[in-house]
Amino acid sequence: MMAGRFDDLDYESFRKLAAEAGLSRFERIGFPDSYREGYEAAIFADIRTKLPKLDNDGMTVLDIGTGCSELPNMVMAHCAAHDHRLALTDSVEMLTLVPEKLKVEKIPGRFPDTAPMIAATIGHADVILCYSVIQYAFAEGILDSFFDAALDLLAEGGEMLIGDIPNVSMRKRFFTSSAGEALHRAYTGGNDQLVTGIGESEEDKINDGVVLRLLARVRAAGAHAFVLPQNDDLPMANRREDILVKRP
Ligand SMILES: C[S@@+](CC[C@H](N)C(=O)[O-])C[C@H]1O[C@@H](n2cnc3c(N)ncnc32)[C@H](O)[C@@H]1O
């Protein structure tokens, strides 16, 4: 399947991918297999270093935009081993593909519409994971309400990782470096002209301005927020980063 198939996705198109016949579990969450296959253990290891409360016992954990690949299975197994209560929210089509487990509650629907239901079910969460999701909220123009609702669900002392944010400014910085050029040559066999994107409009993409504005927004709302790099062994570490929120 071509990468272009996964451009311009939104909540509704993910519902269709979840239900479409013949797709791999990575394609259902919008990735060509090569972007995720064999990498998810490293992704989860990176997530765990950023969310140390996942290694406590008896936490309440929320995963927003769960998807249906191996990652939610890793999250569920880890939560079971630590006796966490886990809530998953995504479309009903996506959540149907996730196995039923004890102490795992599925709350189907579109976030932040599901926020009141989540609050009624689990109250506040000690740990919130929202991995590779906010770019779709951004594209749908609901980034601020999505972020504010997630922050409202975070308990005092809680940790929230808004992970795997594609940042077009970061991508440009990488592809104007020697390392970026070398990667491009290796990927294309040196035939294609490298398009760095310098000078292109960023209006419809998450860039440094969007990321830094989100930090300021969370901080103004009374929580700490930090931008963190991804571990180098992650497939898109050269152009994606994470936001860690800690509520004092
Ligand atoms: C790229 S996938 C990531 C899945 C999973 N978090 C992972 O990293 O493997 C994006 C997921 O977010 C979900 N999603 C997108 N917008 C959403 C929204 N507004 N509310 C809930 N889920 C959403 C999609 O249905 C899809 O499962």
Write the pLDDT tens digit of every residue in 65-115. 999 999 999 999 999 999 999 999 999 999 999 999 999 999 999 999 999
Residue 114 CB less than 6 A away from ligand 1: no
pLDDT digits (tens, 9 = 90+) for 169-207: 999 999 888 888 888 888 777 666 666 677 677 778 999
**Which residue, among 59, 46, 211, 204, has the nearest Cα to 139 in the 3D structure?**
204
**Can you give the pTM of this predicted structure?**
0.95
Residue 131 CB less than 6 A away from ligand 1: yes
Distance 213 CA to ligand 1 centre (A): 22
> According to the model, what pLDDT value does residue 196 have?
67
Percent of the chain exceeding pLDDT 90 equals: 84
Ligand 1 atom 12: the closest Cα is on which residue?
65
Mean of all residue pLDDT scores within the chain: 93
- Torsion sign (Cα): 150, 151, 153, 154: positive
Residue 115 CB less than 6 A away from ligand 1: no
Residue 235 CB less than 6 A away from ligand 1: no
Distance 196 CA to ligand 1 centre (A): 28
Helices vs. strands in the chain: H and E counts, helices first:
12, 7
Distance 216 CA to ligand 1 centre (A): 24
Residue 90 CB less than 6 A away from ligand 1: yes
Residue 163 CB less than 6 A away from ligand 1: no
Is the predicted pLDDT of residue 3 greater than 50, yes or no? no
Residue 84 CB less than 6 A away from ligand 1: no
**Which residue, among 140, 105, 184, 176, has the nearest Cα to 9 in the 3D structure?**
140
Q: For ligand 1, what atom is nearest to the CA of residue 142?
A: 19
Is the predicted pLDDT of residue 157 greater than 80, yes or no? yes
What secondary structure letter does DSSP report for 55?
G
In total, the chain counts a number of residues equal to 248
Residue 95 CB less than 6 A away from ligand 1: no
Distance 18 CA to ligand 1 centre (A): 11
User: For the chain, which residues make up each domain, given as ranges?
Assistant: 3-167+206-246
Q: Calculate the alpha carbon distances from 61 to 38, 70, 129 in Å.
A: 25, 18, 8
> According to the model, what pLDDT value does residue 6 have?
74
Is 3.40.50.720 the CATH classification of the domain at 3-167+206-246? no
Residue 44 CB less than 6 A away from ligand 1: no
